Chain A
């Protein structure tokens, strides 16, 4: 018995020594964890993905005619590449957010490389340098400026021009926002910049010219594309979500109207997106999981966008490549005015922006 214990201790000690040597070896590389094109890339083991079991999702996924690739960028820090950070004992991250303007230009928040990169089909990408690497969301304004959200470092919304200069900055904390970490989105409207708190309410923090809004009004939900409705969504149990609408003129205390209850075949982990288009269609992005039955605690992931009609009737479901890497993102799904669903997806080689036509 004593021999067994001694042997076991020796094995443990040996294992720890090996682990320590590996750590030394890693440190000896001397490179940062920002994955540059010239640096050796860490081998991220992606979770194996089982075949999609949702038939509707599989059907949508198989319809390649509805998918087009907007751009594909390798990981790195050169122009046209996007930064990914996979630290040891820290939060992994990749481009946190993106936005597509009316001309089809994609603005990608490459915060790992402290820059915005702008991709337009047929043109070389260009970059706008940023002084802050803590931004997590981006929104395009009507003033040739970009609104950038930093909810954790500067806790502000910064308005940056084409040269990356911060033209104005608006604090997040204040009326309607006690905890900047609870901010879940940023939206530009004609009347100013609104930030979303807890996926529930909007607080207008900035005027259209980028100045702090002295009133900071609050509304319940997100604005629909045409601005007539406020949309909210919530999990309803573990396998369904509800979408609720209310007129923009309705008082915040008034209950909304249930637009739809959307059931799912897999367990609903969390919602990813809630948007609408010019035709009044509502788009609900979801992250679904299916626990593996091997005791590992691992899950298989699915991503879907459910398209609802103006009347709440489900029109279609778009199966998206699920994000299975560890990188934290803030907004990886966006919908434009004609209902095209954009997804910024990641794999070991880089990031790809795809457009899905519902």
Chain B
């Protein structure tokens, strides 16, 4: 039986071969596929090909190809049940019929002109496709090698590219429609005379959609025009302005649409394009992450790095996401910046910001009018010509040139002292007291001009006038008089009056900067306003002494003042620099560490703030 069938197949092939040069009748791809649709469900019938368009009388098959028995039984081990019909096909018979090669044949007419060997190695009514991946609907994949072969009718690919095929697989499954793994054993072939696009059934459909901001709640209001949308195998386009709608016209089947836009995660959807229809497949894009612009109006949000806004004008965005003027403190360490007027920094103690924004040390003169301040080392002022700075104060510079004693003629400061038995003459020279003759003509009191000797002393009720005449004490002023004496240690007026040595030509200064020189006996006399006076006595070889006495208008006040031998005080350095005070309250001497500290202060200045 099988041999007969095979022979029939070969003879049929012979007849076909002799007419193989004819072009098959025109068909559309959909018409080809329609044969596959009709074929689905029919039984596998080796060497045959006929079926119906009403899915009836599908036949049955048992065994394995090619030794299977068609309708030999209704079940695997029974007798043939004719009610199941006698229709069916094998794989190549199915493609023969679907392609209607070499010429149109009725669906129900059993014919099997070509086998897989013909399809694989001949090109009578079909051609090999140059590229295996170029198969279209209605094309076929065929393999044949060493007496084995198979052929399937291709319809489309799924999203993976796996082919959907119509095929008559074998006895057990029969003729089916399924997705099938095709390997490189197969080649793709295409029937001649397929009339592309002439079918009334459209093969393409339109897929439209929008690109929107995915909010997870179905809200598609926020559109993303300009987003790039690509379709698998269908190119790409930009979502149009405004509503962000895009559109593709594609072959029927599943297509993957991918949308992307800067700042959003690329997303894709796979949607089915149905031939002749228009469907929608909108794509929502999720921001790359959720920006957190809370409290920010500019700059990038700290979560996603996306912009929270921009600043206008000269304002720039600060680290807090606020638009603000940016100070220009370049070259400045303090004071307001010239752009925004905000502080460029503050200066340290004893510093002050100058006009250029630099911190400058401020001199701490504390009453000093000259010399360098102890903090910055800067000048506290300059002294006038003829004076010099001493302890922050301008002091007259004695002009003692050619003088060895007495007071200098400029400042009235002592130029030296004469030894015992000598007197200082008017030219500042020490002369023998005995040999210097006083020039007291016309004078009864005060000092003579030549030797500085006394011309006399007025009574207590009188005072000596400038012309050396004793006269009544000015009733508005008081007479202050006394002796400069030498003491070993501070003492009161009684002690001073008891002192045995009086200091000649000592200088007695008042706290109003007036001064007089004592005579050769240490006597001095002044006409002063009635008040409390501080007298300071100074003499060469002695440390100064100080005393406070109060004068009364129109009266005389006796007031001794002592000086102290330097030799006697040299072992007490704390006291030598400031002298001893007596009489009235005295101020405490400054301790040495404090003085040293003041000297070092300029070196300890704070660094300028930046």
Contacts and interface: CB of A to CB of B under 8 A. Distances in A.
A291 B67 CA distance: 35
Given A91-B91, A324-B184, 10 more contacts: A24-B6, A47-B184, A153-B172, A153-B173, A181-B179, A198-B159, A236-B230, A255-B267, A269-B132, A272-B181
Interface string A306-334: 00000000000000001111111110000
Contact of A89 (B149, B254, B258): B149
B187 A257 contact: no
Given A91-B91, A234-B160, A152 B267 contact: no
B143 A291 contact: no
A235 interface: yes
B177 interface: yes
Contacts of A272: 181
Interface of A: 9, 12-13, 16-17, 19-20, 22-24, 26-27, 30, 32-34, 42-47, 85-92, 133-134, 151-153, 179, 181-182, 184, 198-200, 220, 232-238, 242, 244, 254-258, 261, 267-272, 287, 289, 291, 295-301, 322-330
Contact of A236 (B18, B150, B180, B256): B256
Interface size, B (range): 35 or more
B115 interface: yes
A256 B284 contact: no
Interface string B160-198: 111110011110110011111111111111000000000
Contacts of B158: 182, 184, 198-200
A357 to B, nearest CB: 25
Given A90-B66, A297-B129, A27 B3 contact: yes
**Nearest 8 pairs of A and B residues by beta carbon:** A181-B178, A297-B128, A270-B161, A87-B65, A90-B65, A301-B184, A258-B266, A326-B185
A88 B216 CA distance: 55
Contact of B189 (A179, A257, A289, A297): A297
Contacts of A327: 183
Interface stretch (B7-15, B343-351, B515-523): B7-15
B571 interface: no
A42 B10 contact: no
Contacts of A47: 184-185
B148 A44 contact: yes
A35 B285 CA distance: 54
A23 B6 CA distance: 7
B246 interface: no
9 contacts: A30-B67, A92-B150, A152-B173, A184-B160, A233-B159, A255-B285, A269-B132, A271-B161, A327-B183
A267 B133 contact: yes
A34 B171 CA distance: 13
B214 A89 contact: no
Contacts of A182: 158, 164, 178-179
Contact of B169 (A91, A232, A233, A301): A91
B269 interface: yes
Interface centre among B2, B159, B177 (most CB of A within 10 A): B159
A297 B188 CA distance: 7
Given A236-B258, A325-B185, A89 B268 contact: no
B265 interface: yes
A296 B149 contact: no
A200 B67 CA distance: 38
Contacts of A91: 91, 150, 152, 167, 169-170, 180
B170 A90 contact: yes
A184 B179 contact: yes
A301 B176 contact: no
Contacts of B133: 238, 267, 269, 289, 291
Interface of B: 2-3, 6-7, 9-10, 13-14, 17-18, 44, 46-47, 63-67, 90-93, 115-117, 128-133, 143, 145-150, 152, 157-164, 167-170, 172-173, 176-189, 214, 216, 230, 232-233, 254, 256, 258-260, 265-270, 283-286
A326 B13 contact: no
B66 A89 contact: yes
Contacts of B7: 20
A19 B93 CA distance: 18
B14 A235 contact: no
B254 A198 contact: yes
B178 A235 contact: no
A34 B187 contact: no
Nearest to A199: B160
A35 to B, nearest CB: 11
A27 B2 contact: yes
B18 A9 contact: yes
Contacts of B46: 89-90
Contact of B13 (A16, A45, A220, A329): A16
A187 B93 CA distance: 36
Given A182-B164, A200-B254, A89 B185 contact: no
Contacts of B149: 88-89
Contacts of A92: 143, 148, 150
Nearest to A302: B184
Contact of B176 (A26, A34, A45, A181): A181
Nearest to B128: A297
Given A87-B170, A258-B265, A269-B161, A20 B254 contact: no
Contacts of B6: 20, 23-24, 27
Contacts of B17: 12, 16
Contacts of A27: 2-3, 6, 66-67
Contacts of B173: 134, 152-153
Contacts of B67: 27, 30, 32-33
B147 A22 contact: yes
A272 B183 CA distance: 11
Contacts of A13: 14
Contact of B66 (A33, A233, A324): A33
Contact of B132 (A233, A236, A291): A291
Given A90-B150, A184-B158, A233-B160, A255 B187 contact: no
Interface centre among A9, A17, A42, A87 (most CB of B within 10 A): A87
Contact of B148 (A258, A326, A328): A326
Contacts of A244: 256, 267-268
Nearest to A21: B10
A297 B130 contact: yes
Nearest to B10: A20
Given A27-B66, A90-B44, A134-B172, A235 B161 contact: yes
A324 B150 contact: no
B132 A152 contact: no
A300 B17 CA distance: 31
Nearest to A250: B216
A298 B187 contact: yes
Nearest to A300: B184
Contacts of A153: 172-173
Contacts of A89: 46-47, 65-66, 90-93, 115-116, 149-150
Contacts of B132: 269, 289, 291, 297-299
Nearest to A238: B133
A42 B146 contact: yes
B169 to A, nearest CB: 4
Contact of B3 (A22, A24, A236, A322): A24
Contacts of A254: 214, 216, 284
Contacts of A17: 10
Contacts of A85: 64, 170
A30 B63 CA distance: 12
Nearest to B162: A270
A207 to B, nearest CB: 26
Nearest to A293: B130
B268 A258 contact: yes
A237 B160 contact: no
Nearest to A297: B128
A267 B172 CA distance: 34
A267 B131 CA distance: 10
A270 B157 contact: yes
A90 B147 contact: no
